[in-house]
A and B are shown apart, each in its own frame.
Chain A
Amino acid sequence: MSIPPEADILIIGAGAAAAAFAWRVSGRGLRVVALEQGSWIDPAQSPGGDTDWELALQTRFHPNPNVRRNRADYPVDDTNSPIKPANFNAVGGSTIRWGAHFPRLRPSDFKTLSLDGVGVDWPLSYQDLAPYYALNDAMMGVCGLAGDPANPPRPSRVSPPLPLCSATRALADGFNALQWHWWPSDAAITTRNGQLTSDRGVCNFCGPCGLGCARRARASVDLTYWPAAIAAGVELYTGCTVTSIEPDAAGERVSAVAYVNSHGEAARINANTIVVAASGLGSPRLLLSSVRAHKSLRAIDTSGQLGRNLMLHPTAIVTGLLNEKTPSRGPFACALYSQQFYESDPGRDFVRGFQLQALRGQGPLTTALGGYMQRVDWGQFHHDQFVAEFERSVSLTVTTEDLPESNNHISLHHNRSDRWGLPIPCMHYRIGDNTRRMLRFGIARAREVLNATGANRTKTNPLSAQAGFHFMGTARMGKNPADSVVDDAGRCHQIPNLLVIDGSVFPTAGAVNPTPTIQAIALRCADALVDRVMCAEQM
């Protein structure tokens, strides 16, 4: 199929936000075209069935694009960041290589300035997003258990929670012994037959969800939203890398994108509305590059906030070593979480909070390489250490809320470009003082619960380097054009037919995985756009 020269809505990217948005605007008589630089990934080809499946996690399914170096990846200069980038470039974006943990932000996450005097308030509330969270849960096929007292009530999940293994069951007992909050994870994983209309299978608890899921039980948007969107008429083209967004002659709107197709040929598409959904890393990169190329697009960044306020959820991992053999099985990221320390407490030396999340299911190679702990030392005692740790540990992440700081930002490299000629992005990030104190406190609490679990000792990774999965804040939304890039409908304040709808728009980060919120925002932005288009047609 040839790529059209015109579209009503042109979407850049095919990840979590783009897919939800595309589906929501589909079937309305609008020509919707999406361009994705990666390709489709066949879940049937997941290396989870290969004997060297753990090797794939170190190579072609490594989270860091600088290590993975797949054809669709672009390099990222991470020299000035202790947290390295983690993403995936394909139809499905980072949902191809994720754990599918599916929490929501809490109401207080939207009002950090009003409640706690830090960060900024969002221009929308939890209540504004609640119906979109529910719709998104249904589309993604979320398992879990309603009734968590740490969160507002939500509808029953479409399938029951994932089971606990011996290791995470011991952890649950540890939380109960301390009378701390914990709850089974909401996860975009199907656990029961017949709950979804698509061809999703049922989880058999194999573990390495990050390799893709041959059973199609673990959701990714290439399995959920995209088939529905395409069936409703959305056109998705792969191997197409957008190199620039272009202004109209008057310089007041955007009118087209330039891209390179899968044959390496340069082309362009005119569009009435351009929607940027290339992640909190890729979106500011493309916007900054386009501003550099076209002076009239400087209006995108009149606030000076484009690329700034980068937030990454700094994460520590604490592992308890157990006396007994304690098999750790099941989806690696989805077992249970604790939000005992999520809200601010004036008795602590930091504001805001963090989540503790159980990890499980490491294989032998991942254990030897360090995985959730440190690498097993080489030499005379290598096997003794391996046997002492493998199948005898349970780990907790301490996932912290980092606050927006202007100095943490994405910039364009001054002389390095990718294969398509775009300047590569540079991460500039330091961990804030509040977050450092929070990590220190969180590590101590993780040790406390692991000791209550029966650990004979703990090992701590004080900062997980390969954990920059959650790029947020780099084109933040707000009511005031002086301090934000887009409004609550994703529209650039000064260029209303240019939308940004991914994690870039988060004003603050919360302390949980952002994908459900990213998708809820994308659905809401889609409704707002359709309303505007329909109103304009009726006038």
Chain B
Amino acid sequence: MARDQQSDLTLLAAIMDCLIPGDDLNWPAAGTHGLAGAVMDHMTVISPDLDAFGVIMELLDIDFQQYPAAQQAAVLRQCEHDEPDAFDVLVRATYNMYYTDAAVRKVIEHMTGYPARPPQPNGYVMDPFDESLLDVVRQQGPSWRKA
């Protein structure tokens, strides 16, 4: 049966909201945040030989989106058990898109101090190595065997 693209994305967004829920304070929910299209595309990149979403969709009841969150999670746990490979693709794709999203990186920066920028070109400023840390080791003497 032909699949409707918009319906698929709506369902995928609901699943993603279950995988990475939001909260009222900081974190956006993965699906509501608008990443379903990117995740759908990315699943085919990381697993071109497996229709992961199709496999999972076959396991879901038509009323999945109307279930309360706890029931949705229970259904997805069963999916994970029954189709681990497809579910793994779904989780990896969701994490990949969520944790490289600029808004999410801003949240991480706000909460942890980890800068929301790529490693280059700025890198990080670090103090030089302190050789006095090795005083304990230097007292031990050689430990390699001659051969």
Q: Could you tell me which A residues sit within 8 Å of B by CB distance?
A: 46, 48-55, 58-59, 67, 106-108, 110-111, 114-115, 125-126, 145, 147, 149-152, 160-165, 169, 172-173, 175-176, 179, 181-184, 203-208, 214-215, 325, 327, 329-330, 339-340, 342-343, 363-365, 368-369, 375, 378-380, 382-383, 387, 390-391
Contacts and interface: CB of A to CB of B under 8 A. Distances in A.
Given A176-B136, A379-B73, A382-B19, 8 more contacts: A51-B118, A145-B131, A163-B127, A327-B114, A343-B143, A364-B99, A365-B95, A378-B91
A149 B120 contact: no
B143 A149 contact: yes
Contact of A149 (B27, B121, B130, B141): B141
B37 interface: no
B143 A181 contact: yes
B142 interface: yes
Given A205-B123, A368-B95, A391-B112, A172 B133 contact: yes
A183 B142 CA distance: 13
Contacts of A152: 144
Given A149-B142, A160-B129, A214-B120, A58 B46 contact: yes
Contacts of B143: 149-150, 181, 339-340, 342-343
Contacts of A203: 123
A365 B27 contact: no
A339 to B, nearest CB: 7
Contacts, number: 172
A160 B118 contact: no
Interface in B121-147: 121-131, 133-134, 136-138, 140-147
A365 B144 contact: no
Interface in B36-83: 45-46, 69, 73, 76
B129 A390 contact: no
A329 B113 CA distance: 13
Most buried by B among A160, A183, A363: A363
B127 to A, nearest CB: 6
Nearest to A110: B147
Nearest to A152: B144
Contacts of B138: 147, 149
Nearest to A126: B147
Given A330-B124, A343-B145, A364 B119 contact: no
B118 A181 contact: no
A44 to B, nearest CB: 10
A507 B95 CA distance: 42
B113 A391 contact: yes
Contacts of B144: 106-108, 149-152, 342-343
B7 interface: no
Contact of B91 (A52, A55, A182, A375): A375
B146 A107 contact: yes
Nearest to A217: B123
B95 A369 contact: yes
A150 B145 CA distance: 9
A325 B112 contact: yes
A342 B143 CA distance: 9
Contacts of A147: 138
A369 to B, nearest CB: 6
A149 B137 contact: yes
A204 B113 contact: no
B114 A391 contact: yes
Given A59-B46, A208-B119, A327-B113, A54 B147 contact: no
B121 A106 contact: no
A390 B144 CA distance: 37
Contacts of A58: 46, 92, 96
A206 B123 contact: yes
Given A145-B131, A364-B99, A379 B19 contact: yes
Nearest to A208: B119
Ranked nearest first, the 9 interchain pairs of A and B with the lowest CB-CB distance are A204-B123, A206-B119, A365-B99, A206-B123, A163-B126, A49-B120, A107-B147, A378-B19, A48-B120
Contacts of A375: 91, 95
Contact of B129 (A111, A161, A342): A161
Contacts of B130: 164
Nearest to A335: B129
A106 B147 CA distance: 9
Given A149-B142, A152-B144, A378-B91, A59 B108 contact: no
Contact of B73 (A179, A340, A380): A380
B100 interface: yes
A421 B29 CA distance: 47
B96 A365 contact: yes
Nearest to B93: A58
A101 to B, nearest CB: 16
A329 B124 contact: yes
Most buried by A among B73, B129, B142: B129
